[in-house]
Structure 1
Amino acid sequence: MDEALVGELEAAIADIGALLVRVRKYRRGQTGDGATLLDEALALGDRARRLHRHDALDRAAARGLLTEAAALAARVQGLLSAVRAAAEYRAAVAAYATGDVAALAAALPAIFAGLEPVPRAPDLFYPLAWRRRGEPRPVAEIVAEVKRCRDEGVVAEGDDLAPGADPELPAVLLLGAAPPDEPVMLRFPSGACGEPVYRLADTGEFLVYAPRLRAPFTVLLRPTFETEDDEDTGAYPAWRAALAVALGAANVPVEEA
């Protein structure tokens, strides 16, 4: 058995899996050709594992599977390119760029899988990173970030793997409940985020499709916070008190979570 060739095959199959994650967040990736490609990828992986388990994955078999994997990856990439070249996708990108809320709201559910329209969103939450390398971030740094969110808006994000968004249709991801393990977060009151707002059916997370979310919010601070690190737990009350004072001085409304 050629271990280098086996490693190459494993990497090729993993690459197909990553491509499928990218394409299956779109509706076209869930049905038709997308469903067929998923079935073929699973079958290819099963065959490779079965041959490996029975010590039958010789050089010839591995090269044959590599050829199949390359062809399958090209087909998945082709479907992904077709999705992003489709008229409905390009229309959504144009609507996003021009701020045509009505056109964008109508287009999004036909593009991304698992999007549920939310006519009026509940209170939504945006956790802020409060530690770096295991240490609390400087209070001034947190306050500066909050002020940027207030003055410039929360910046949308979208990558190839994120469900419901991508680099051309980024969104601000918000939570429908204040997470218990996050001590600092922004709370956007019900209805404040405008449109279009959608809920991801699989995760319950909310997406606001705008380059920047400019909406009123308050900062929620947990009065106490428990971590696995006793030292962090002891330092939190003083850090929280200093942050609350600094946010108040910056005219940022604060409330207890």
Structure 2
Amino acid sequence: MDEALVGELEAAIADVGALLVRARKYRRGQTGKGATLLDEALALGDRARRLHRHEALDPAAARVLLTAAAALAARVRGLLSAVRAAPEYRAAVAAHAAGDAAALAAALPAIFVGLEPAPTPPDLFYPLAWQRRGEPRPVAEVVADVQHYRDEGIAAEGDDVAPGTDPELPAVLLLGEAPPDEPVMLRFQSGACGRPAYRLADTGEFLVYAPRLRAPFTVLLRPALETEDDEGAGAYPVWRAALAAALATANVPAEEA
């Protein structure tokens, strides 16, 4: 058995899987040709494992599977290109750039799987990074972050894997509940975002499609970490008090979570 060839085959099959993860967040990736591609990828992986298990994955068989994997990857890439060339997708990108909330609302649910309009979202939360390498960040840094979010807004993000977004349709991700393991977070009261919100059915997270989310918020500070065993628990009370004082000096509203 040619181990190098087997490794190449494993990488090729993994590449197909990664491409399918990207494709299946779109509705086109889970219907019609998209559903067929998943079935073919699963069958290809099963065939490779079966041959390997029976020590029948000789170079000739591996090359046949490599050719099939390359062809399958090309078809998934073609599907992704078709998604982004589709009229509804181009309309959504144009609406996002123009800030046209109505046009975006009409287009988005037809593009992404599991994306639901949330006309009356609950209070929404955005956790803040408060540690670096296990130690509390300097209070001045955290306050500077908060002031930046207040004055400039939170920048939208989008990548090829995250559900409900991609590089051309970025969004700000917010949580529908205050996470118990996050001691510092921003809270946007219901309706305060000023832009339509959408809920991801699988995770319960919310997305706001805007280049930047600039809206009023309150900083929530938990009185203590979730457990005394949490890293940084000993330093947290003093750090929290200093942060609360600095936020007050900066005229940033803050309250206990």
TM bucket normalised to smaller:
over 0.9
CA spacing shift, 1:181–1:79, aligned 2, 3 Å: same
Unaligned runs of 5+ in 1: none
Q: Percent identity?
A: 85
Q: What is the aligned residue count? A: 257
The DSSP-based 3-state class of the residue aligned with 2:163 is coil
User: What's the CA shift for 1:134?
Assistant: 1.4
Aligned residue in 1 for 2:23: 23
CA-to-aligned-CA distance 1:192-250 (integer Å, 9 cap, x gap): 11232100000000000000001110000000104575661111000000000001110
CA gap 1:75/1:230 in 2 versus in 1, 3 angstroms: closer
Q: Match of 1:112, as an amino acid? A: F
User: C-alpha offsets along residues 69-127 of structure 1, whole Å, 9 cap, x if unaligned?
Assistant: 00000000000000001111011100110111110111100111101111111100000
Structure 1 pair 200–230 and aligned structure 2 pair: CA distance change class (3 A): closer
Q: Which runs of 5+ in 2 are unaligned?
A: none
Q: What is the identity, as a one-letter code, of the residue corresponding to 2:162?
A: A
For residues 208 and 37 of structure 1, the distance between their equivalents in structure 2, rounded to whole angstroms, comes to 31
| Residue 250 (structure 2) aligns with | 250
Q: Does 1:159 align with 2:184?
A: no
1:226–1:121: structure 2 CA closer, same or farther, 3 Å change rule? closer
Kept in 1, the 8 Å contact 2:180–2:226? The answer is no
For 2:133 and 2:108, locate their aligned partners in 1 and report how far apart those are by CA, in whole Å. Answer: 38
| Contact persistence 1:150–1:215 (CA under 8 A) | yes
Residue matched to 1:210: 210
1:180 aligns with 180
Residues 126, 186 of structure 1: 8 Å contact kept? yes
- Look up the match of 1:81: 81
Q: CA deviation digits over 1:140-181, x for unaligned, max 9?
A: 000000001000001100000010000000000000000010
Aligned partner of residue 126 in structure 1, secondary structure: strand
Provide TM-score, normalisation by structure 2.
Answer: 0.98
CA distance in 2, matches of 1:192, 1:92: 23
Once residues 240 and 94 of structure 2 are traced to their aligned partners in structure 1, the CA distance between those partners, rounded to angstroms, is 43
Residue 63 (structure 1) aligns with = 63
Deviations 1:34-89 (A, max 9, x none): 00000000000011111111111111111100000000000000000000011110
